[in-house]
Amino acid sequence: MTSLDRLRGDVQPKNHNARTIAALTANPGCSRRAVMDAAGIDKSRLASYIGFPARFGQSQFAITRGNAFEAQLKANGCAELLRLLREALKLPIEEASYDDLESLEQMDARAARSRQLLTRAASGEEGAGTLFDHPLLRLEVGGRWVYLEPDLVALRTGGKFYVVEIKSFAVIDGQADGTKVSAAATQSAVYVLALRRLLAEAGHDPLLVSHDVVLVCPENFSNRPVATLVDVRKKLSVLERQLSRMARIDAIVESLSPDLTFDLAPDSSGVPQRPASELVDGLGQVDARYSPECLANCELAFFCRHEARGTTASLGKSVREELGGVSSVELALSLASGSASPEPDQEEAAAMLRYAAKLRAEIVS
Amino acid sequence: MTDVLPGVLADLTSHRGVVVDSPPGAGKSTLVVKATKEMVSSGQLPLMIVAQTNEQVDDLISRLITALPPGVVIGRLSAQGYVPTPRVAAHASVTVGSKVADLGPALIVIGTAAKWATLNDGQWPWAIVDEAYQMRSDMLLRIANRFDKALFVGDPGQLDPFSVVESERWNGLTWDPMQSAVAVLLRHNPHLPVHRLPVSWRLPFSAAPVVSQAFYPFTGFSSGTGDGDRRLSLTTASFGGGPVDAAVETAAATGWALYELPNRHTLRTDAEAAAACASLAQRFLERGAVAYSEQAPDGAPVTASRIAIGAAHRDQVAAIRSYLPPSSEITVDTANRLQGREYDVTIVLHPLSGRRDATAFHLESGRLCVLASRHRHACVVVARAGIPELLDAHPSTEPVHLNVPVKFPDGWEANQSIMAHLNGHRVNV
Amino acid sequence: MSALTALARASAVQAGVAQPIATVRHVHLSSRPLVFIPLSLAGEAHAPLAALVGSSVESPQLLVVPQPRNRDQRFGFAATLAEILVSYVDSFCGETETVAVDRGRDVRERYVDAPQILVPNGGGIGFVRLFGRSTRFRRTTGEWAVDPAVPLLGRWLTFFAERAEYPGSSMLVSMTGALGMHWATGQSSVEDANLAALLGWIAPPAGMTGAEAALEAEDPLRWPPAGPATDPTFDNEVLAPAIESGSLSTLEKALRDQLEPTWELMWRGVSLLRALPAGSRVERRWADDRGAFTGYVEYVAEGGFPQAKLDVAVAAAQRLAKLERAQALYDAQRAYDDPLVLAEYRLTGEAFAGSVVASSPDRLDASGKKRVLRPHITVRSDDPVRLGPGVTVVSPARPAQKGRIVSVSGSDVVLELSGGMGRGLTAPPGSVPEVGERLTYTTLTESYQAPAAFPSRDETPWTHGGPPAEYVPDNEDAAEEWS
Ligand code: SF4
């Protein structure tokens, strides 16, 4: 049993997907999250169990709409999608063939078949296909293999592969929500990376996979799809760096107490028996790096926020910075009022805080 | 100098515009002056010249006066109330006026973009736009009807223009007014020829590859001088061998030094770092630094006016200045204002020093690029330890906008690249 | 975020209640604002689901789209909203006043009051913008005809959304934005985007701290989200069955329950803001809003086109220039109106406060052709002075008078004054600050800046793609699907 297995306890590791891998780049400085993710711990379950459930629910309306949009695009052998890609990638019509890889049942079989088809396409064999629907790719994350399922991979003449990402947020007059596009771009970058590694392993040039991905979204207020090319080079470099740091998670894990575990100790019917307080203690042993942005990105956010109460970081990065980097609210205020005397390395912050407090006091009675 | 000028001018006869990208110290001003000279002698006149600041205009005028044949009158278009600087006023071949009509028979008219934008008529067959990457595209929109054809010259690696207004309204539009003039020009006219000046005459052999790799990864440039062509020697002995001396010596020997203060989160105006910047700069003077180069093979003393200290924020500049004697002639300024300047030795307060988080402002590649590319001999970077860790912890969550070309280099990567290089030149305090 | 605001946030944590960061109110508040709380259906491209709207606290009107995916019902919703909003807007097209424009060279009429829409948060403003976009191009005749009020609604919504981008405008205001400008809570700005939590900090219920109130406010069962997005659990457990049931009353009840708490919060916010005294320049900015409103009423009456989908190059540059001027003016005006805002500039060195310790009110400058009155005063600053000689500063107490810094020695700043002293060679009494007077000087200026000149759109230069095609709304716009 590795130390990561021990941390997770006697359950299957939580599977990563492109979204969770993308989320690794949301707060890469947080050891707590890095350890949890590397060990495959179900953060959502853990958070609920200790009384801080995450609120990342999805509305069934959103799910239905997303599925309907994808189904519409892929109906009749991807007819509509093909039309779009022809425009966006200048795909010649005669090469439009279609491989549905989703229909294969078994994961390993699907991955193998995907690899076979994609590498064959890379070597430029005749009739190698143009569209690959839901191919199954693999990527090593923190020492474990993760299966990934891009919506579609398109191959253009001239041998370039393009990852196609279907999203149901709208592109209105050529513009879309920057946060959503960013998330989609990071997820697509995960696929690009996995596909590049697949080709490289098979001895092909990884750069056959384009760093431009095709984002397909509904246009304006309609169901009509529109394709936009998104350059994910920056996302790729961040992702590669983060994945290589994940591989070095051992250093953090080794620094933890050898009997630390987040095992929920379920009984025979699967009901956790572990006292929540032990888990909370355990979480406290792994350094966190909470900021309010976590609320949108991490299942443990409500717990970490609770833990971070009274810190300037919990008020936001810019607040902490403006308070001279002093980490606790109480200390910042005592330095400001002069009731605490600063350590030598706090002198400057203290002087600034006193001055700010004086100005406020002068005006707010 | 590998002469790109004939090609540039030839292209200008067959295209409406030509862009010349110039990395730091690659002879941009020389190119502008030479191009002007050529255009005068081939009769490509009258000529309109656009620069971005009054200082740049005056700099150009004084260089043009010496380069152009006598009798060529230069009209300096300026705002009402502009008092000509002595170097401009002293010349009979320069006329000054706030209207074109007041300039007399000038065949070359030069002014800031802001001044040109106040004109609503007049048409010049030829124009040169200097520092075109510093100009916002809305400014280009306001002046572009004044010329038929233009040569755009500038450094793509420097700071982008900015606005006090935050708006996502124009994201992705090819004419986004917040983008640089060149970005918009090329998006509408993708077939315009783009030339590059391939050699930096400013950056020494020790710096060109580093700056080129970090900030110009796709185009690249090299140094005009070779290994050992530039030398910085210290003529007096060290003051007891502390870290300041060690950093000065490392920089003199290798062209770079990282003066690394202990890791600590500080105010922007970190007193220790500010004081270090000042004493490092002073120490070059105290040690009697002498610069040997192709310009001064027998050595020229590095005087205060040949040293600059650069920082990201104005309050940092004020803090650093407070540690220098009031009479000091050492330049202390922000990256924005150091653009286009050149010194023998520079001291740089790293924009990320002492910070807990990086922001887009601090990561902007142009900022570090300007700071790290002002020197002819040596550059000392002052920073608190911990920058690589800070970069690794930086979340990648900035919004992505559709149809906005990705700008390279990425500040995050450029910073990583520079830190990796500086690691080999570190002096711990 | 300034250090003063950061400190106020820290104080709020300790005090358990939000702290003021303004001494006066910087937004205009109408005596009868139109409160508008829209909800949209998750996953759809900005499909309206419901709204609560009205201009008095007692009479909210509930609008519901029973089948959010039904196009006709959506346009029905738009038509009802149009009726409410357009008649609200029309109710201001009454009394006018005559004002000088173009620096006194001309006059024009301006409505004495104007509409004001209040939405809960930034998402509400986004809804107004996109709902405007999806309705303003519709045709009222022909194949895809909609109720004539619908495209008019679209133009007005777009007008409001564009005003909301304009610094200092109060025509379309988000409540979280307005409150956040005046109070600092003990939580982060991310959390302040939740109206209930924000108000929990500003006015916690008796016996509760702000932190407790905010925590409670995050529970979507007690305080449903203020929209436009709904709570996913509500969608799955209440909304979906209600839509399926086909019973309008069930659906209306469900949606009313989601919206009413926010309605209450909106009006609580209104009273809190009303309790603050208005800054003295608020009325001036509202007059600008009234001018813009009057202009748009005229434009619509003359049959102008709906606003274009995108700004063409010239329009974009012009708009940016306008926004930049407005931003600079707004920053200056807030600082002039409010010593607490001005203090932020003192902290960063862009302003300093002090007492006059020497004054030579009769000093003449004889260096030019004509002698001119240029008094010198020396201000002993309480604040570190980071401005240097040559910089021009103004005191909010004497906005018509400029001071040029002559020298700075230690904390003493010598200023040379011009303006605000009549035309003679002696300064009228009181026009030059006297010894002992306390003043704040800042580099912020509200002085007039001439608007920049731009080419006309037909003269768009080749660098920007040349003149754009004239925009004429077409069938495609009118027919645009709305899934
Ligand atoms: S919520 Fe906690 S565990 Fe998750 S990233 Fe933030 S600090 Fe780390």
User: Cα(A53) to centroid of ligand 1, in Å?
Assistant: 13
Same domain, A48 and A81: no
User: Cα(A4) to centroid of ligand 1, in Å?
Assistant: 18
Which among C8, C14, C483 has CB closest to A221? C483
Chain B residues whose beta carbon lies within 8 Å of the beta carbon of residue A178: 168, 171, 399-401
Task: Classify residue B133 by its DSSP letter.
Answer: G
Nearest-angstrom CA–CA distance, A230 and C54 = 43
Nearest-angstrom CA–CA distance, C223 and B72 = 77
**Does the C-beta of A41 come closer than 6 Å to ligand 1?**
no
Same domain, A17 and A130: no
Same domain, A101 and A171: yes
Token pair listed for A211: 């760093």
**Does the C-beta of A46 come closer than 6 Å to ligand 1?**
no
Distances (CA, A) of B133 to A200, B363, C128: 39, 19, 37
Q: Are the beta carbons of A321 and B405 separated by less than 8 Å?
A: no
- Domains identified in chain A, total number: 3
- The pLDDT value recorded for residue B398 is 86
| Distance from the first to the final alpha carbon of chain B | 42
- The pLDDT value recorded for residue A281 is 93
Length of chain A equals 365
Residues B7/B195, Cβ–Cβ less than 8 Å: yes
Determine, yes or no, domain membership for A310. Answer: no
Strand arrangement of the beta sheet that strand A225-231 belongs to: A98-100, A131-133, A152-155, A161-166, A212-218, A225-231
Rg of chain C over Cα atoms, rounded to whole angstroms, equals 26
Q: Are the beta carbons of B357 and A321 separated by less than 8 Å?
A: yes
Chains that touch C (3 or more CB pairs under 8 A): A, B
pLDDT over 80 (residue A1): no
Place of tokens 């590694």: A197
Determine, yes or no, domain membership for A299. Answer: no
**Class of the CATH domain delimited by C351-442:** mainly beta
Q: Are the beta carbons of A182 and B406 separated by less than 8 Å?
A: no
Every domain of chain C with CATH number 2.40.30 lies at: 351-442
Q: What angle do CA B76, B82, B86 make, to 5 degrees?
A: 70
> Mapping DSSP to helix (H, G, I), strand (E, B) and coil, where does residue B283 land?
helix
Same domain, A133 and A151: yes
**Does the C-beta of A148 come closer than 6 Å to ligand 1?**
no
**Does the C-beta of A30 come closer than 6 Å to ligand 1?**
yes
Token pair listed for C437: 């007077």
- The pLDDT value recorded for residue B288 is 94
Interface residue C465 vs chain B (CB under 8 A): yes
Letter string b/e over residues C401-429, b meaning 16 or more CB atoms within 10 A of that residue's CB? bbbebeebeeeebbbbbbeebeeeeebee
Rg of chain B over Cα atoms, rounded to whole angstroms, equals 22
Nearest-angstrom CA–CA distance, A136 and A113 = 8
Residues A312/A320, Cβ–Cβ less than 8 Å: yes
Which among B389, B395, B400 has CB closest to A26? B395
Find the domain containing A105 and state its range: 60-231
User: Cα(A308) to centroid of ligand 1, in Å?
Assistant: 10
Query: Is the omega angle on the peptide bond into residue B46 within 30 degrees of 0, that is, cis?
Result: yes
Residues A152/A137, Cβ–Cβ less than 8 Å: no
Token pair listed for A154: 């398109």
Distances (CA, A) of C274 to A88, C32, C164, C179, C263: 54, 12, 20, 11, 17
Hey, what amino acid is at C210?
Answer: G
Chain B residues whose beta carbon lies within 8 Å of the beta carbon of residue C453: 117-118, 120, 142
A216-270: per-residue pLDDT in tens?
999 988 888 999 999 999 999 889 888 887 777 788 888 888 889 998 888 888 8
What is the nearest CA distance from A89 to chain C, expressed in angstroms? 24
Same domain, A163 and A78: yes
A118-162: per-residue pLDDT in tens?
888 888 765 556 788 888 898 888 777 888 888 888 877 677 889
Strand partners, C31: none
What is the nearest CA distance from C385 to chain B, expressed in angstroms? 10
Nearest-angstrom CA–CA distance, C251 and B60 = 73
Nearest-angstrom CA–CA distance, A222 and A225 = 8
Determine, yes or no, domain membership for A298. Answer: no
Residues 6 or more apart in contact with residue A24 via CB below 8 angstroms: A33, A34, A37, A141, A239, A242, A243, A246
Token pair listed for C142: 């022909």
Same domain, A65 and A41: no
Nearest-angstrom CA–CA distance, B346 and B349 = 10
Letter string b/e over residues C460-473, b meaning 16 or more CB atoms within 10 A of that residue's CB? bbebbbebbeeeeb
Place of tokens 């833990």: A307
Same domain, A85 and A196: yes
- The pLDDT value recorded for residue A335 is 96
Token pair listed for C115: 């509409």
Same domain, A129 and A218: yes
C407-427: per-residue pLDDT in tens?
998 899 999 999 989 888 888
H or E element at residue B187: helix B181-188
> Mapping DSSP to helix (H, G, I), strand (E, B) and coil, where does residue C71 land?
helix
List all residues of chain C from 341 to 360 with a beta carbon under 8 Å from chain B: 348-349
Nearest-angstrom CA–CA distance, B340 and B338 = 6
**Does the C-beta of A298 come closer than 6 Å to ligand 1?**
yes
Residue of C158, C463, C464 to mutate for B, most B C-beta atoms under 10 A: C463
Nearest-angstrom CA–CA distance, B126 and A199 = 52
Nearest-angstrom CA–CA distance, C113 and C94 = 9
Chain C residues whose beta carbon lies within 8 Å of the beta carbon of residue A168: 43
Determine, yes or no, domain membership for A304. Answer: no
pLDDT over 60 (residue C108): yes
**Does the C-beta of A283 come closer than 6 Å to ligand 1?**
no
Nearest to C230 by CA among A55, A295, A59: A59
Residue of A30, A248, A348 to mutate for B, most B C-beta atoms under 10 A: A348
Percent composition of chain B: helix, strand, coil (DSSP 3-state, to 5): 35, 20, 45
Same domain, A127 and A168: yes
**Torsion sign (Cα): B303, B309, B314, B317:** negative
Q: What angle do CA B30, B32, B35 make, to 5 degrees?
A: 105
**Does the C-beta of A294 come closer than 6 Å to ligand 1?**
yes
> Mapping DSSP to helix (H, G, I), strand (E, B) and coil, where does residue A19 land?
helix
Q: Are the beta carbons of B400 and A321 separated by less than 8 Å?
A: no
- The pLDDT value recorded for residue C116 is 98
Same domain, A54 and A66: no
Residue nearest to atom 2 of ligand 1 (CA): A304
- Percent of chain C past pLDDT 90, that is, above it, reads 78
Place of tokens 């203020």: C226
User: Cα(B168) to centroid of ligand 1, in Å?
Assistant: 29
Its pTM stands at 0.93
HSE (side-chain half, CA atoms, 13 Å) at B400: 25
A323-347: per-residue pLDDT in tens?
988 999 999 999 999 999 998 888 8
Nearest-angstrom CA–CA distance, B202 and B132 = 20
Q: Are the beta carbons of C464 and B318 separated by less than 8 Å?
A: no
Chain B residues whose beta carbon lies within 8 Å of the beta carbon of residue C462: 16, 144, 188-189
**Does the C-beta of A33 come closer than 6 Å to ligand 1?**
yes
Complex ipTM value: 0.91
Nearest-angstrom CA–CA distance, C239 and C272 = 33
Residues C330/C285, Cβ–Cβ less than 8 Å: yes
Nearest-angstrom CA–CA distance, A321 and C6 = 9
Nearest to A240 by CA among C328, C269, B416, C138: B416
Per-position DSSP letters for C392-458, written without gaps between them: EEEETTEEEEEEEEEEEETTEEEEEEESSS-SSSSPPTTSSPPTT-EEEEES------PPPP---GG
A27-70: per-residue pLDDT in tens?
888 999 988 988 889 999 999 999 999 988 899 999 999 999 99
Residues A199/A151, Cβ–Cβ less than 8 Å: no
Residues 6 or more apart in contact with residue B176 via CB below 8 angstroms: B137, B170, B184, B404, C316
Minimal Cα distance from B402: which residue of A?
A175
Nearest-angstrom CA–CA distance, B173 and B166 = 15
Minimal Cα distance from C232: which residue of A?
A59
Nearest-angstrom CA–CA distance, C328 and C100 = 23
H or E element at residue B346: strand B343-349
Task: State which ligand 1 atom lies nearest to the alpha carbon of A295.
Answer: 1
What is the nearest CA distance from A100 to chain C, expressed in angstroms? 26
Q: Are the beta carbons of C316 and B177 separated by less than 8 Å?
A: yes
User: Cα(B182) to centroid of ligand 1, in Å?
Assistant: 42
Strand arrangement of the beta sheet that strand C48-54 belongs to: C61-64, C48-54, C34-40, C117-119, C172-174
Nearest-angstrom CA–CA distance, C21 and C1 = 11
Phi, then psi, of A167 in degrees rounded to 5? -130, 155
- The pLDDT value recorded for residue C287 is 96
Q: What angle do CA C101, C102, C105 make, to 5 degrees?
A: 90
What is the nearest CA distance from C285 to chain A, expressed in angstroms? 25
Same domain, A126 and A199: yes
**Does the C-beta of A288 come closer than 6 Å to ligand 1?**
yes
Determine, yes or no, domain membership for A106. Answer: yes
- The pLDDT value recorded for residue A126 is 58
What is the nearest CA distance from B133 to chain C, expressed in angstroms? 14
What string of pLDDT tens digits covers the 429 residues of chain B? 458 899 999 999 999 999 999 999 999 999 999 999 999 998 888 999 999 999 899 989 999 998 998 888 899 998 887 777 877 777 778 888 888 888 888 889 999 999 999 998 889 999 999 999 999 999 999 999 999 999 999 999 888 888 889 888 999 999 999 999 999 999 999 999 999 999 999 999 999 999 999 999 888 899 999 998 999 999 988 777 799 999 999 999 999 999 999 999 888 899 999 999 999 999 999 999 999 999 999 999 999 999 999 999 998 998 999 999 988 999 999 999 998 889 999 999 999 999 988 888 899 999 999 999 999 999 999 999 999 999 988 888 889 999 998 887 888 989 999 999 999 999 998
Token pair listed for C144: 């895809």
Token pair listed for C26: 């910087």
CA dihedral B296, B300, B303, B306 (to 10 degrees): 20
Average pLDDT over residues A75-101: 77
Q: Are the beta carbons of A324 and B168 separated by less than 8 Å?
A: no
Q: Are the beta carbons of B176 and C323 separated by less than 8 Å?
A: no
Q: Are the beta carbons of C312 and B175 separated by less than 8 Å?
A: yes
Token pair listed for C407: 């020298």
What is the nearest CA distance from C73 to chain B, expressed in angstroms? 30
Same domain, A212 and A74: yes
Hey, what amino acid is at A353?
Answer: L
Number of A/C CB contacts below 8 angstroms equals: 149
Distances (CA, A) of C83 to A334, C75, C80, C155: 57, 12, 5, 13
**Torsion sign (Cα): B117, B123, B124, B126:** positive
What is the nearest CA distance from C260 to chain B, expressed in angstroms? 32
Hey, what amino acid is at B42?
Answer: S
User: Cα(A26) to centroid of ligand 1, in Å?
Assistant: 10
